[in-house]
A and B are shown apart, each in its own frame.
Chain A
Amino acid sequence: MSLDLSVDLCGIRLPNPLVLASGILGTSAPLLERVARCGAGAVTTKSCGPAPRAGHPNPTVIDWGGGLINAVGLPNPGVEAEVEIIATALEQLAPLGVPLIASIFAETVAGFAAVAERISTANPDLIEVNISCPNVTAEFGRPFALDPASAAQVTAAVRAATTLPIIVKLSPNVTDIVAIARAVEDAGADAIAAINTLGPGMVIDVESGRPILANRVGGVSGPAIRPIAVRCVYDICAAVSVPVVGIGGVTCGRDAVEMLMAGATAVGVGSAVYQGGPEVFGHIRDELAGWMQAHDYASLSEFRGIAHER
């Protein structure tokens, strides 16, 4: 039986549903290419803003036991340099048939539009609009993703600034993620990515009595948040008609199946790279294929969203 793992995400073909999540390894063209060669179906660049940013001081990422907690603080070379990175990465990815998602952030609605317009000149396959980083509130204020109106404003501004498909990345740290998903869909989002990291959380070093992260708080990711991610994806998929990239704690083929059953079109993988390295993409892909074979599924659409019917 022939097995088809491919996915259509906003008209872009992914050879398999696994997407390198933003903020993980997306810092250079050679790294993006390596992740694609390791088996990712799409790769997302590290979120880029209007100007170069150093990010937070260390410690920035800690393994607390149930996953990671991070406050890296969006370090990036700025959109001008990012355009070059993306151009190089697109050349290297083209022969592999792996699309590139350019992730962007800004402090203001106008800033989002400006970065989207500039990044579009590099012609990435899709743009991810990161309105949900929980680690820059001291400088940027509350993330746009916490409120339907401001989430929609950013989405509409980016929609007007580019003709490329846009994925809006949502925060789980809200009382009603469905209201926000509907708002960004109505504002012109072509897809939704959910979820960004949970929290923020805090881990305190009990010897010094100090929060370990230099930013004191950080976003929680990894296996501990997977049930929350699955519920968010399930709820969003029930409420909107645009495709959803399900992200949060996926580390193996079984987890990817679960996310697809919740209704996700594609599945983000991030913190799993900590335990499994870039090679984790190939492992998850092969486990997913093995599970499909064992269950007589020839394509993802045969079981996508079935949790909604049972």
Chain B
Amino acid sequence: MSGNLPSAARIVSITEENVRVKTLVLNARAQAQPGQFAMVWLPGADEKPFSIVDDHPLTFTIARVGPFTQQVHALNVGDRLWWRGPFGRGFEIVEGNGAHLLIGGGYGAAPLAFLARRLRAAGRQVITIIGAKTKAELLLEARFAAMGCTIIAATEDGSAGMRGLATDVARDVAHRERVATVYACGPEGMLAAVERLCAELHLPGQVSREGYMRCGLGVCGSCHHGPWLVCRDGPVFTVG
């Protein structure tokens, strides 16, 4: 009868990843798959879903995009944050020859870092394309590099890495390398492009979607995407 109430955890470290994004490490552990999420609660403020960026210790990478994330960014080491989860369907590590191609657009690179860690621990070859509008918004390059992933940065304004969209870079990579599976997280437009790319090149793909979530439990229907619930059937969906 313990249910799944939010539990309190203390922040043990905070890293500024870029101008808008911080990584918070908590003194808590979860049993999570990459791509799963937790509902993060600040009593008196709000509760929102965030991808689990590591489960041991529990880690979130949070972009400052509104009043709630502003409050989270104002927290210090030693402050508490509440969470419940993990929820949803995460990435499935698929067997297959070739590189595992990760495509992260904007804040979408965050959940892929957890996936990359698992893939590298399993000895897989990982190519990560990190896309952003501009250099200052590129996310977690060093983290992916430290894991031994091949990193390709892509910026829309050409201020760092290749100029262009992450999905265009992915198409080039897929033409010259053997790719086992494509895993992507990012804005809807990018995910649609990833779906087209997977269909075109006959590649299996998994995309992590965002949804407007309330309950996180698969009952309220707020995060519907066609007949699916992002919180329960996703956030990771198979494509291709």
Contacts and interface: CB of A to CB of B under 8 A. Distances in A.
Given A58-B48, A65-B2, A208 B219 contact: no
A64 B2 CA distance: 7
B222 A271 contact: no
A27 B221 contact: yes
Contacts of A24: 219-221
Contacts of B229: 25, 31
A64 B5 contact: yes
Interface string B207-225: 0000000111111111010
A26 B226 CA distance: 12
Contact of B46 (A33, A34, A57, A63): A57
Given A28-B224, A30-B224, A208-B43, A61 B215 contact: yes
B214 A271 contact: no
Interface residues of A, number: 38
A23 B82 CA distance: 26
A25 B46 contact: no
A227 interface: no
Given A25-B219, A58-B47, A59-B47, A203 B5 contact: yes
B189 interface: no
A210 B82 CA distance: 12
Interface of B is mostly: loop
A64 B3 contact: yes
A70 B215 contact: yes
A75 B222 contact: yes
Nearest to A37: B227
A58 B46 contact: yes
Interface in A230-283: 270-271, 273-274, 277
Most buried by B among A30, A59, A72, A277: A59
B47 A63 contact: no
Contact of A66 (B1, B5, B218): B1
B214 A61 contact: yes
A61 B227 contact: no
A66 B44 CA distance: 25
A30 to B, nearest CB: 4
A169 interface: no
B39 interface: yes
A207 interface: yes
Interface in B185-240: 214-222, 224, 226-227, 229, 232
B4 interface: yes
A60 interface: yes
Contacts of A60: 214-215, 220
B214 A205 contact: no
29 contacts: A25-B220, A27-B224, A31-B227, A55-B214, A58-B39, A58-B48, A61-B216, A62-B3, A62-B5, A62-B84, A63-B5, A64-B3, A65-B1, A65-B2, A65-B3, A70-B220, A72-B215, A75-B214, A203-B5, A205-B8, A205-B43, A205-B82, A207-B82, A212-B6, A273-B218, A274-B217, A274-B218, A277-B218, A277-B232
Shortest 6 CB-CB contacts between residues of A and residues of B: A65-B3, A27-B221, A61-B215, A58-B47, A65-B1, A207-B8
Interface of B: 1-8, 39, 41, 43-44, 46-48, 80, 82, 84, 214-222, 224, 226-227, 229, 232
